Structure 1
Amino acid sequence: MVTHEQQTEKTALIVEDDKAVLQLIRLYLAQAGYRILEAQDGVAGLRMALEESPDIVLLDLNLAGMDGIEVCKNVRSESDVPIIMVTARVEEEDRLTGLDLGADDYVSKPFSPRELVARVNAVLRRTQRNAENQKETGNHLTAGAVVIDLDRRSATVLGTEIDLTPTEFRLLSYFIEGRGRTVSRDQIIENVFGYDFSGYDRTVDTHVSNLRKKLESANPEGQHLKTMYGVGYRFDV
């Protein structure tokens, strides 16, 4: 089902099977100036995410037809649209799985509608800022055997392309831009995620760990991404 509360610049797709929650999210996002698209099952949500080109997707995990993890995985294979998972699942493993697949944020039910809107706004600001930064820094970033193509949003190691999630791509770009400099979790949160990530510090570590594994798998001799214990991380060439 598609509703057009008002025509504005940004469109939010809500994929949620709980009608009360869907109505609550719709109300607050519409009041914040968003055009709203809705789907109440995973199959419809996936189709709309790929066909309607929303600016952001708010995705429940417990969906009929196709659960939110599968929807996220399939969307991310085709699109880098920002995804916020909104779910009653509280297990850390569910949260980390979603984030590993490329979700940009994770909000647990019950939630504050105003905080949810703030997170939506923050994710979109970060997305826009990253796009603007890429335009300013040129088409490529290079650090040793690692080359990032900002236009294609791809990365190669020793000439071989590596499969990165959107979050991993942003993280690698940030590390390469600041190569040789130690950065803290807080700096990563501010510059890569762009919103208050308080309470989810392990997520930063998980993304860094996954990125490191992919880099070292492509080039076992090139262990560039180093953990500075008690401080943060540093990318050396």
Structure 2
Amino acid sequence: MNLTTHDNLAAPDMGSRILVIEDDQDIRQLLTRFLCLKGYSVSVAINKAELQKQLHSVSIDLVLLDITLPEESGYELFEFLRQTTALPVIMVTALAETRDRIAGLDLGADDYIGKPFDLAELEARIRAVLRRSERPVLSSSALGEHLFGPWKFIPAKRALYGKSGIRVTLSSSETDLMLTLCQHPNVLLTRLQIIELIYDAKDAVEERTIDLLISRLRRKLAEGGRQLELIRTIRGDGYIFDLKGISS
């Protein structure tokens, strides 16, 4: 494939805009050209300063983040993204060992793909993450607000609020998990059932990914330094969103 593509290109149909954070020029240009041919608009960055500039200048729908950057750690940029945005993030990196993938997912990445990667697979992962983050919003009258302990989850806004109405930042996957649990209170759900409910396919992700999602959501449902027993682990079976005895 021709690698003479310029950075920050827009596809003719102005589809979803992908921010590619990658320091290798050849890979950056390859991704730019490929994604534009697939109908996406593309912006690029190689460090935090350029990332901040892109966030302020264009509307981003998804971030492809290389972890092994020369100036700042990709993990540092990921933490910045999580603290300041709700953008879905796919980590793209040469660190393809299982422990590295788990570390990325545990931090809150929406997906993870190792180099070298197949472009078609990467685009399929992008489509899947965008589908999850762009699902049609249901009206609150149809779905209702969910109140549990000090928390309020509003599906119409895909938003979780804690004490004093402070909004809690959730990734798109964490939001989907919160919605799934709210729709199935006091019901034992296996990991495979949760995968199918969130991703519409039983083989979309590994069961370990659900454990990591649960762990992250539990931490965000912490109150006063302690975790309410809202999501109970049923060893060997799955999880229960246990609202019994929790006052609203």
Counterpart Cα distance in 2 of 1:90 and 1:164:
27
Deviations 1:66-97 (A, max 9, x none): 22111111112121111111111124443334
Aligned counterpart in structure 2 of residue 181 of structure 1, from 165, 187, 204 = 187
**SS at 1:132 equivalent:** coil
| Residue type of the alignment partner of 2:44 | E
| 1:205 lines up with 2:211 in the alignment | yes
What's 2:110 paired with? 104
Aligned counterpart in structure 1 of residue 47 of structure 2, from 38, 41, 46 = 41
In structure 1, the gaps of 5 or more residues are none
| Residue type of the alignment partner of 1:179 | P
Using the TM superposition, name which of 171-180 and 114-123 deviates more: 171-180
| Residue type of the alignment partner of 2:177 | L
- Residue 50 and residue 182 in structure 1: after superposition, are their counterparts in 2 closer, same or farther (change >3 A)? farther
Q: 1:137 Cα deviation (Å)?
A: 4.4
* RMSD, aligned α-carbons: 2.9
**TM-score (structure 1 length as normaliser):** 0.83
What's 1:148 paired with? 153
Q: 1:45 Cα deviation (Å)?
A: 2.7
| Residue type of the alignment partner of 2:145 | H
Using the TM superposition, name which of 111-120 and 66-75 deviates more: 66-75
Q: Is the 8 A contact 1:147 1:155 kept in 2?
A: yes
In structure 2, the gaps of 5 or more residues are 1-6, 244-248
Using the TM superposition, name which of 113-122 and 47-56 deviates more: 47-56
Aligned-residue identity in percent = 32
- Residue 25 and residue 160 in structure 1: after superposition, are their counterparts in 2 closer, same or farther (change >3 A)? same
Counterpart Cα distance in 2 of 1:71 and 1:93:
19
Counterpart Cα distance in 1 of 2:184 and 2:92:
33
| 1:127 lines up with 2:133 in the alignment | yes
What's 1:63 paired with? 69
Counterpart Cα distance in 2 of 1:143 and 1:175:
12
**SS at 2:146 equivalent:** strand
Q: 1:139 Cα deviation (Å)?
A: 6.2
**SS at 2:137 equivalent:** helix
Deviations 1:93-122 (A, max 9, x none): 433343333321111111110011011111
**TM-score (structure 2 length as normaliser):** 0.80
| Residue type of the alignment partner of 2:240 | R
- Residue 21 and residue 187 in structure 1: after superposition, are their counterparts in 2 closer, same or farther (change >3 A)? farther
Counterpart Cα distance in 1 of 2:226 and 2:67:
36
Q: 1:28 Cα deviation (Å)?
A: 2.5
Q: 1:63 Cα deviation (Å)?
A: 1.3
What's 2:232 paired with? 226
What's 1:14 paired with? 20
Q: 1:161 Cα deviation (Å)?
A: 4.9
Using the TM superposition, name which of 69-78 and 147-156 deviates more: 147-156
Q: Is the 8 A contact 1:123 1:194 kept in 2?
A: no
Aligned counterpart in structure 2 of residue 29 of structure 1, from 32, 35, 57 = 35
Q: 1:205 Cα deviation (Å)?
A: 0.7
- Residue 139 and residue 72 in structure 1: after superposition, are their counterparts in 2 closer, same or farther (change >3 A)? farther
What's 1:2 paired with? 8
Counterpart Cα distance in 2 of 1:47 and 1:92:
33
Higher Cα Rg, which structure: 2
Counterpart Cα distance in 1 of 2:49 and 2:9:
18
Deviations 1:152-204 (A, max 9, x none): 723326x6858453233432232122112222222322333567544x43222
Deviations 1:192-224 (A, max 9, x none): 3567544x4322212212323443544858412
Q: Is the 8 A contact 1:46 1:74 kept in 2?
A: no
